[in-house]
Amino acid sequence: MKNSIYFRIFIATALIVLLSFSLLGGLSTAISYRRMMADKRAMMISTLNETARYITTQHVHHAINLDDLDLNMWLTMTSGVTGFDLFITNASGVVESCSDKTIVNLGKLVPEGMINSVAINDGIVVLSTLGQIYPERRQVSGLPLMFTRNGEVHIFGYLFVSSDIAAFRQEWNNFFSAFILIALIVMVIAFITAFVAMKKQAEPLNEMAGAARRFARGEFNVRVNNQGRSDEIGQLTEAFNAMADSLESSEQQRRDFIANLSHELKTPMTVIGGFADGLLDGTIPQEDEKRYLGIISSETRRLSRLVRSMQEISMLKGAESPAQLDSSFDISEVVRLALLSLDGKIEERQLDIKAELPDEAILTRGDADSITQVVFNLIDNAIKFSSPGGLIEIDLWKNNTRAYVSITNKGETIPPDELPHIFERFHKADKSRSVNREGVGLGLYIVKMILDNHNEDIFVTSLNGETKFIFSLTIA
């Protein structure tokens, strides 16, 4: 698991997400803390100004005392609403009234330095104990209480508002702890989801890796479960299974090829070896020696044809199609030359030839020698499987950019289930391979390979004793 690319991607992604989340969380936390502090200070200033305005108004209109019970109650009510502690001093800085006597003792004196600072910079927020008025440092803001009479400003006291930093920090710590807890839960859920998703993504790849290892051991029947996916992994799975089908088919063809080749080699070699031993040990009478030597010669030529066909197949597999398509030739002339070459076999089987060839030349693209072999093999095949004294029809015509060659013979009908396999290596409709001792079962396979190299098509039909092969060529 540790060597899995998905595991490494997951770890790298987790580290990046964790780092990004930490940086973003830290930045957000710092910004939130500063924002909350700023809001709290703004609220303190607002409370300070509103309370000072109320006290000043009451003092001017009603001449209230700073230690008035109603004023004390107003401070207590304001403290309850805002959460801040408030107290008022006289012009000398002595505490006259407060919102909570358990926090601020009446009669205590605010340091002269703080009084002067408030008088000059009203509304400033500082951290201070105000000369031991508070047991701990607090955020404190003050404002002079004053009114104007006859153009003169009179200060009759000072208002102070304070906030407990410890309480604020505890509140912030609680908020921060909840934030961290929620963030950790979200991250754990995200990591678990990502891990499960990546593991799910990796399952087909792991299955493919296992299947590939089994392919290496020769087990070509293994397939990967697609699970109906339509994403890239699903497409890869389909491509992998298609490759597996192709490998299995290729392996089956290889085995069939080896079996067929072994069969094709075994029969003539057995005949040659048996008759040669008979000639050497005198089992065969002297008067029959010539006949058996003829059989040996025939089987030797059969082996030579088989080897030559295998060499042709090897050369065709290595041929480059673009080079073959550069030249052109007259397909009519190719058909005529093939008929002349096979004239002896045609006469031997007393066959009639009906050739419908145009008088004018039909130039087609491709390698003339290769297409000559295609025509020769097809006509030779028609001769072999025609009934004695039968008819072979050869037609040549063109249609737009294509020329077509048709070769028809009268003989036995090829079974429908044999037609799809007619162009396979060593395929013969007669499984005993005894009908035609001259053939090696590679002629039509070579035809198909040549036409495939030329990007051309070939079709075969067989009905009521009439078998027809039609192949196409591109007009030059």
- pLDDT tens per residue across span 124-171: 788 888 888 888 888 899 999 888 878 788 888 999 999 887 766 777
The secondary structure of 204-217 as a DSSP string is HHHHHHHHHHHHHT
Q: 443-453 and 289-317 helices cross at what angle (nearest 10)?
A: 20
Q: What are the tokens at 305? A: 């044809």
Residue with tokens 């908020």: 175
- Summarised one tens digit per residue, pLDDT across range 227-267 is 777 777 778 888 888 888 888 877 777 776 677 667 667 76
pLDDT at position 304: 78
What span, in angstroms and rounded, lies between the C-alpha atoms of 245 and 242?
5
Percent share of the chain, pLDDT over 70: 84
> What order do you get walking across the sheet with 458-463 strand by strand?
352-356, 391-399, 402-410, 466-474, 458-463
- At position 91, the amino acid (one-letter code) is A
Count of other CB atoms within 10 angstroms of residue 475: 15
- At position 109, the amino acid (one-letter code) is L
- Summarised one tens digit per residue, pLDDT across range 366-414 is 888 888 889 988 998 999 889 888 999 999 999 889 999 999 999 889 8
What span, in angstroms and rounded, lies between the C-alpha atoms of 140 and 311?
104
- Summarised one tens digit per residue, pLDDT across range 438-474 is 555 677 888 888 888 888 999 999 998 899 999 999 9
- Summarised one tens digit per residue, pLDDT across range 279-315 is 888 888 888 788 888 878 877 877 776 677 666 666 6
Task: Tell whether the model's pLDDT for residue 183 goes beyond 80.
Answer: no
What span, in angstroms and rounded, lies between the C-alpha atoms of 111 and 156?
17
